[in-house]
Amino acid sequence: MKNNGRTIADTATTVADSAGVIRKHLDAFVTTAPLAESGTRKASETLNGVYERRCENQLVPDPACDDLKKAKDAAADAARLTADVNTVVQDYHGDMTALEKDLVTLQRQARALAKAAPHLSEDLDDAVTKVDALNKGAAKVAKGAGTLHTGLGTAKTGAADLDTGVGKLQTGATDLTGGMYKLVDGSGKLAGGLHDGADQIPDYDKQDRDARTQVMADPVQLASRDLHNAPNYGTGFAPYFIPLSLWVGAMVAYMLIQPLNRRALAAGSSAWRIALAGWLPVAAVGVLQTAALMSVLHWAIGLEMARAAGTVGFLFLVTACFAAIVQWLNARFGAAGRILVLALLMLQLTSAGGTYPVQTSPGFFNALHPFLPMSYVVEALRRLISGGGLGPVWQACAVLAAFTAGALALTALSARRKQVWTLDRLHPELSL
């Protein structure tokens, strides 16, 4: 004991100094915790108010709302952490007060031990008693120091989060400042543009305003104009009924005239000569019919034609074509050909588009329309009687010439076959 007295004295002095340091920091920690909680709470409330004014209560949110929200959240986290630290401090306030008293006692006893240590050998019993008391105080100090260490760890974490949040807050504030400058510049440009636009708005008088109101209320007006107007109902239907009468004339003519001359067939004449001999008389009758028909229509009924000579000449070609077609059907099919002539007339009347546009007819008649001669005759007569371009007229002439040539060729072929007698011709199954 004599040899270790100095060491004990030094150790006791160190313990006393350490207890003083711990007591000093404990006082600072107890005092700072409520202030940290109050400061972080006020910062969080301030940021919440800024965020509500600029982002939640505005029709057009501030461009820096995202950064403000991050800063607001970071401040709220920091406030919660400092609140937790302060709660720990308040919850253990009694223990810390007792710990402070124990530290005072420890410090006093340690200093007393340091003074008495050199004389321990002289008063060993008293030193043992004081060492026991010191041991008990040290145990209490260790327990309080553990609690303090835990609280300091929590405070350290909260302080780090608070530092991070403050950094984010500073960054968001910088961005907000830049955004405010941009907003000010944009507002100035907007004000200037509105001012310039207001200067460019014309000052209309009442008459101009009424006129523009009428235009806005009725911006589109429809104007209709007739091209090549037909003066009456009969003029509009003439292109339909004229070819009908010519077809019926050819059909009746071949009821009276043989399509193929029997004497020429018996004499062995050429097929083309026989076909032309049966066609020319009916074509001549058709020419006379056309002249009589157009005379009655023009002078008796009052039909006015935009191209009278062209109409008459075109009808001569029409009657020649119809005569050739009717001749072939009668020559090829005999008595049954008359029924086919009537059936073909019905098909032409329903698909020619003479009474209404053919596009409104069923698909069957739309398909037949381009393959029947009367379709072209009706369209051409409309241009010749009421006026218009001659493109459809020349097309109709080419089609009718092709039908005429084809029908005469088929009639010549039928005449060639008629020159050969068969049992069917000697004993026909049907005769009219």
Closest CA to 386 of 244, 241, 235, 237: 235
Asked if 120 and 47 touch (Cβ cutoff 8 Å), the reply is no
Lowest mean pLDDT among 2-6, 230-234, 395-399: 2-6
pTM of this structure:
0.49
How far, in Å, CA of 418 to CA of 112, rounded? 161
409 lies in some domain: yes
What the block records as the tokens of 212 is: 């523009």
**Domain boundary, last residue among 185, 217, 246:** 185
| pLDDT on residue 246 | 95
Tell me the pLDDT tens digit for each residue of 354-373.
777 888 888 888 899 999 99
Same domain, 245 and 322: yes
| pLDDT on residue 245 | 94
Same domain, 156 and 253: no
Phi-psi region of 222 (alpha: psi -120 to 50; beta: other; left: phi over 0): beta
Q: Domain holding 165: CATH number?
A: 1.20.1260
108 lies in some domain: yes
Tell me the pLDDT tens digit for each residue of 373-389.
999 999 999 999 988 88
pLDDT at 39 over 70: yes
How far, in Å, CA of 161 to CA of 169, rounded? 12
355 or 344, higher pLDDT: 344
Which amino acid is located at 42 in the chain? K
Closest CA to 313 of 394, 253, 245: 394
- Grouping H, G, I as helix, E, B as strand and the rest as coil, residue 432 is coil
- Grouping H, G, I as helix, E, B as strand and the rest as coil, residue 334 is coil
* Domain span holding position 9: 5-185
| pLDDT on residue 336 | 92
Same domain, 178 and 245: no
195 lies in some domain: no
Mean confidence (pLDDT) of the chain? 79
Same domain, 26 and 113: yes
Same domain, 307 and 243: yes
30 lies in some domain: yes
211 lies in some domain: no
Tell me the pLDDT tens digit for each residue of 70-104.
777 777 887 787 777 777 666 666 666 666 677 67
Same domain, 372 and 242: yes
414 lies in some domain: yes
Count CB-CB contacts under 10 A for residue 254.
22
| pLDDT on residue 108 | 76
**Domain boundary, last residue among 162, 185, 208:** 185
Same domain, 249 and 165: no
151 lies in some domain: yes
pLDDT at 255 over 80: yes
What the block records as the tokens of 32 is: 């700072």
pLDDT at 132 over 90: no
**What domain count does the chain have?**
2
